Structure formats: structure tokens, C-alpha cells
């Protein structure tokens, strides 16, 4: 089969790229009301592309927010069905002055397409559209394929859960396939086996009714910044282990075998440090960097403020200090339980001289894909076929709250088969997607369907 696909893709290469770039020209920024018409236009363009690429039917569907696009190609109801999830919306482009070329005028340079949405996620979900076309036009479909391409991923998918719940039959499938993540590198292909969950809270510590003069009252009144600092400082011990009672209770013990596998991924300490400009690796004692971001929960301070933060000096004894605090969660922690634990902990450890107002922002569940599942094995074999190397299973450190929603509503597992690279600049100026990666995705995806259909 590989020769048929290769030939078809080689012949249509240029068109595949041009079509993807046409999609990138539509400023489908979901966060901005001024782009509402662009969102509609983009959804229609996705629908048209699905139909032109071989879907039997495709539809722009209302969700309560920006529409989602559904499409399907059913070859035989008795065969396995793969549901491809993607999103056609993109992040805002500010600061515009940092872009070398306009974000919605895709520009090719050094084998890369520079444009907002090139890697996240238009370029990546469009690989699935072109893989479908390849299989349909070479008459080599091995599975039924459904598409759900939403328009609100970059604003937290507020309507997707209800949409999926309302369309369970339509979306019924055997596995969900998502290309919205990265490879370790082209030399070291990898597959994400999970994402971490999230609990995110805000803690406000108030010591007085108003800002006070630090001379008149300093020494005789509690300083909320000092109090909050002590509260924060108490949450990690000298081994960077989180000290909040019960925090680790539900953490799934990862087997020695799986830890060995995780640490097989090549890791160049100097490159890692240089890339983000840190002096030293840092984290929980007894775990490697990949383990720290993959299989261990965290407690991070995302923001803090209080008192005078302007230029120069002001001798104020602030009335209050506030922190944004979040935890990344791993199986089998749940966002609800950890959020409650954090809120109660910060209320409890506050000394009686202050008032604490602690509340939740949002959360998401951790998600894991078993590597012995058919879906994972199919993806692994597909990458092995096109890269000539078994992909390394890696744990993603981030959070994709919709994963647990999709699994819960549809009762099936998610396979993360991303073809991006960590330096694609997602959400940043000069986002790009390497053309080589785009083609590699289109080449690889049919093999996934082939193996999953076996």
C-alpha cells in the first residue's frame, strides 16, 4: 500500500500545502468577538474541505458558542471507527510588532510555514483531511472515519462537553485520534501517553482594612506579604516534595518498567537548560526531569502581588497580598478533590491575625492512555513504519481538560499523535509548522488506520 499512498501524496504535494495555507489565511480567533464572521467562514471552509476530500457528509453544527464541524466517511459499519478531533480556532496574535511576517499571511521560509494556527492546530488537523483524501482516492480505507473539528479550544472548550453529550450517537467511535502535540524531534519520534490535570486557585490574605504607613504601624501589625510568603514557603520541603497533607494520596504509583521507558527518551541537560535559560535543573528529589513533568504532580505559584509595585520606593504596609496557585495532577488525582484540599489547606494554615479569601479558578482531570491499548499500538506501529524507529512514549506535562470530557461522554480512549515540535512557538509570535512535519503526518496517518483496522 505504501507505494500507492506515496505516489498519490507526491503528485498532490503542492496542492496539499496550498490548501492548508489557504485555511491559515482566515483569522479564526475564537477569543475576539470581532472575528465572529471569520470563525463562521473558517468553519464553512473546513466543511468544504472535508467534503472535497472524501467525506460522505459534513456539517457546520451549532454549539452555543462558535460552531463545530462534523464530517464522516463510513465505509462499513462493522469496521472500527476512528474519531479525529481537532480545532480550527487560533490564539490571538498580539503582540503584533514581534511578528516577522503578518500572522494571517502564511509565509514559507527555510522549509517552515509561518502563520498563526500553522502548528496549533490547523496544519495538524488538516493532515488528517489530506490522509483521508489519500485513502479515499486510492481506495484503501481500512476504518470508518469521523471528524469533530471544534472552534473553541483556545478559549477552554466551554460548549464541547454539552455538545458531545448531546451527540453521542453521531460521534460514536472506537478511538479518538488527536494531532495537537509535539514529537521529541524528527530523529526521536514520540507519542504522548497522557496529560496532567489541573487545579487552580487564588488565595487572598488580608491583614488590615487599608494600606498603612510602614513607619507608624510597622512592627505592630501583621504584614500580609510576609504571612503569605510563609504560607507558600511551607508547602514544599527541602526535597521539593509537596507537604500538604493528603496531596499525594491518590497518585498512581508508576511501575519501574514505565519509569525506565520514560527515561529512555534522550535528554540533553545542557540543551534543555540553554533553551529556557535556567542555571540548574530543579525539582522533586528522586525523580528525573521527564518524571517531574510527566508522572509527578506539582504545586506552582503562577502569580503574586501585594503592596507597592511601581517604580522607586513607597513605605507602605499593605492591607493585603494575593497569589495565584495551581497544581498539575496525575492519575488518579482528581481536580475536584485536590482543589478542595488546596482551598482548605490555605485557609487552615493562615494565622489568626489575617483573613483568607481562597477560591477556585478552574480545573481539569489528568488523562492517561495505556500503551498496551490497540490505539496506542497502532499509532506506535504507524510511526515506526514512517520514521524507522519505535516512538518513545512520553508524558505530556500540560493539561487538556477536554480529554476527560471526551472519554467520559464517549467511553473511548484518546491517542495523541502530534507532529509538531517544541519550538513551533504555539501561542507566541512567529508560530510556524515545518513543511517536512506536515508531510510526515500525512504519510503516517493512513498507517494508523491500516493497523487499527486490522
* Contacts (CB under 8 A) with its own copies, residues 220-279: 220-223, 225-226, 228-230, 232-236, 276-279
Q: Give the contacts of 28 (CB within 8 A, at least 6 positions apart).
A: 35, 38, 39, 41, 42, 88, 89, 90, 117, 151
Range 429-448, binding its own copies (CB under 8 A): none
Residue 131 CB, shortest distance to its own copies, in Å, is: 27
C-alpha cell of 83? 474519531
Residues 179-198 touching its own copies, rule: CB under 8 A, are: 195-196, 198
Judged by beta carbon, residue 6 or residue 230, the one nearer its own copies is 230
**Torsion angle, alpha carbons of 229, 232, 238, 241, to 10:** -170
Total residues contacting its own copies by CB under 8 A comes to 80
> What is the closest distance, in whole angstroms, from the C-beta atom of residue 433 to its own copies in the complex?
18
The angle formed by the CA atoms of residues 426, 430 and 432, to the nearest 5 degrees, is: 65
Distance set, CA 8 to CA 21, 101, 179 (Å)? 20, 32, 22
Q: How far is the CB of 55 from its own copies (least distance, A)?
A: 33
Nearer to its own copies, 115 or 198 (CB): 198
Query: What residues numbered 317-336 form the site for its own copies, per CB under 8 A?
Result: 317-318, 321-324, 326, 328
Judged by beta carbon, residue 69 or residue 295, the one nearer its own copies is 295
Shortest gap between Cβ of 402 and its own copies (angstroms)?
14
How far CA 110 is from CA of 35, 184, 189, 434, in Å, comes to 30, 20, 21, 9
For residue 452, the minimal CB distance to its own copies (Å) is 28
SS3 437: helix
Q: How many other C-beta atoms can be found within 10 angstroms of the C-beta atom of residue 11?
A: 9
Question: Minimum distance between the CB of residue 361 and its own copies, rounded to whole angstroms?
Answer: 4
Q: Which three cell numbers stand for residue 127?
A: 493532515
**Size of the chain, expressed as the number of residues it contains:** 454
Task: Select from 54, 92, 161, 283 the one that contacts its own copies (CB under 8 A).
Answer: 283
Could you say which residues in the range 336-395 bind its own copies, by CB under 8 A? 352-355, 361-362
Q: Residue 221 and residue 29: Cα distance in Å, rounded? A: 48
Interaction residues for its own copies, span 412-431 (CB under 8 A): 422
Q: Is 300 in the site for its own copies (CB under 8 A)?
A: yes
Residues 52-71 that bind its own copies (CB under 8 A): none
Site string for its own copies, 138-167 (x = CB under 8 A): ------------------------------
The upper half-sphere exposure of residue 104, i.e. CA atoms within 13 Å in the direction of its Cβ, equals: 15
Helix or strand (DSSP H, E) at 149: strand 144-150
306 touches its own copies by CB under 8 A: yes
Please identify, using beta-carbon distances, which residue of 293 and 437 lies nearer to its own copies. Answer: 293
Burial of 261 (0-12, 13-18, 19+ CB in 10 A): middle
Piece in contact with its own copies (CB under 8 A), picked from 122-130, 157-165, 299-307, 444-452: 299-307
User: 196-215: which residues touch its own copies (CB under 8 A)?
Assistant: 196, 198, 200, 202, 207-210, 212-215
Query: 232 by DSSP, 3-state: which?
Result: helix
CA 66 to CA 74: how far, in whole Å? Answer: 26
Among 33, 256, 309, 388, binds its own copies (CB under 8 A): 309
Nearest approach in angstroms of CB 224 to its own copies is 8
Between the CA of residue 382 and those of 371, 379, 424, what are the distances in Å? Answer: 14, 5, 23
Could you tell me which of 159, 71, 85, 86 has the C-alpha nearest to residue 121?
Answer: 86
Binds its own copies (CB under 8 A): choice among 15, 109, 168, 314: 314
Asked if 399 interacts with its own copies (CB under 8 A), we say yes
Amino acid at each position: 500500500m505504501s507505494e500507492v499512498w506515496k505516489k498519490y501524496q507526491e503528485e498532490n504535494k503542492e496542492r496539499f500545502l496550498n490548501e492548508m495555507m489557504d485555511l491559515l489565511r482566515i483569522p479564526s480567533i475564537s477569543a475576539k468577538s470581532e472575528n465572529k464572521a471569520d470563525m463562521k467562514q473558517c468553519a464553512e471552509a473546513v466543511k468544504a474541505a472535508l467534503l472535497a476530500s472524501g467525506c460522505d457528509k459534513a456539517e457546520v453544527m451549532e454549539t452555543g458558542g462558535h460552531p463545530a464541524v462534523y464530517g464522516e466517511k463510513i465505509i462499513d459499519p462493522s469496521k472500527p471507527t476512528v474519531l479525529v478531533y481537532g480545532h480550527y480556532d487560533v490564539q490571538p496574535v498580539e503582540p503584533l510588532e514581534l511578528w516577522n511576517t503578518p500572522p494571517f499571511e502564511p509565509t514559507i521560509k527555510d522549509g517552515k510555514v509561518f502563520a498563526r494556527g500553522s502548528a496549533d492546530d490547523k496544519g495538524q488537523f488538516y493532515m488528517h483531511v489530506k490522509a483521508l483524501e489519500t485513502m479515499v482516492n486510492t481506495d484503501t480505507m481500512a476504518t470508518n472515519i469521523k471528524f469533530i473539528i471544534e472552534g473553541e479550544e483556545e478559549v477552554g472548550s466551554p460548549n464541547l462537553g454539552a455538545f458531545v453529550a448531546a451527540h453521542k450517537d453521531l460521534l460514536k467511535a472506537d478511538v479518538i485520534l488527536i494531532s495537537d502535540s509535539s514529537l521529541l524531534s524528527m530523529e526521536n519520534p514520540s507519542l504522548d501517553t497522557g496529560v496532567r490535570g489541573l487545579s487552580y486557585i487564588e488565595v487572598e490574605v488580608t491583614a488590615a482594612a487599608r494600606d498603612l504607613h510602614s513607619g507608624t504601624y510597622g512592627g505592630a501589625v501583621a504584614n500580609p506579604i510576609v504571612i503569605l510568603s510563609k504560607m507558600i514557603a511551607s508547602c514544599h520541603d527541602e526535597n521539593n516534595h509537596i507537604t500538604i497533607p493528603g496531596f499525594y494520596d491518590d497518585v498512581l504509583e508508576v511501575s519501574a518498567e514505565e519509569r525506565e521507558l520514560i527515561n529512555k527518551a534522550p535528554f540533553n541537560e545542557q540543551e534543555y537548560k540553554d533553551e529556557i535559560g535556567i542555571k540548574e535543573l530543579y525539582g522533586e528529589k528522586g525523580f528525573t526531569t521527564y518524571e517531574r513533568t510527566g508522572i509527578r504532580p506539582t504545586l506552582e505559584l503562577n502569580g503574586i502581588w501585594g503592596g507597592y509595585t511601581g517604580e522607586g520606593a513607597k513605605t507602605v504596609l499593605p492591607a493585603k497580598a494575593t497569589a495565584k496557585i495551581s497544581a498539575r495532577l496525575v492519575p488518579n488525582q482528581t481536580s475536584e478533590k485536590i482543589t478542595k484540599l488546596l482551598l482548605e489547606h490555605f485557609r487552615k494554615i493562615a494565622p489568626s491575625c489575617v483573613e483568607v479569601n481562597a477560591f477556585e479558578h478552574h480545573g481539569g482531570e489528568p488523562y492517561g492512555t495505556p500503551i498496551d491499548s490497540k490505539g496506542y499500538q497502532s499509532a506506535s506501529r504507524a510511526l515506526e513504519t514512517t520514521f524507522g524507529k519505535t516512538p518513545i512514549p512520553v508524558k505530556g506535562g500540560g493539561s487538556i481538560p477536554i480529554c476527560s470530557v471526551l472519554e467520559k461522554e464517549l467511553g473511548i480512549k484518546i491517542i495523541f499523535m502530534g507532529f509538531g515540535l517544541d519550538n513551533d512557538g504555539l501561542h507566541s509570535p512567529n508560530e510556524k509548522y515545518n513543511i517536512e512535519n506536515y508531510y510526515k503526518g500525512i504519510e503516517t496517518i493512513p498507517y494508523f488506520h491500516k493497523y487499527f483496522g486490522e
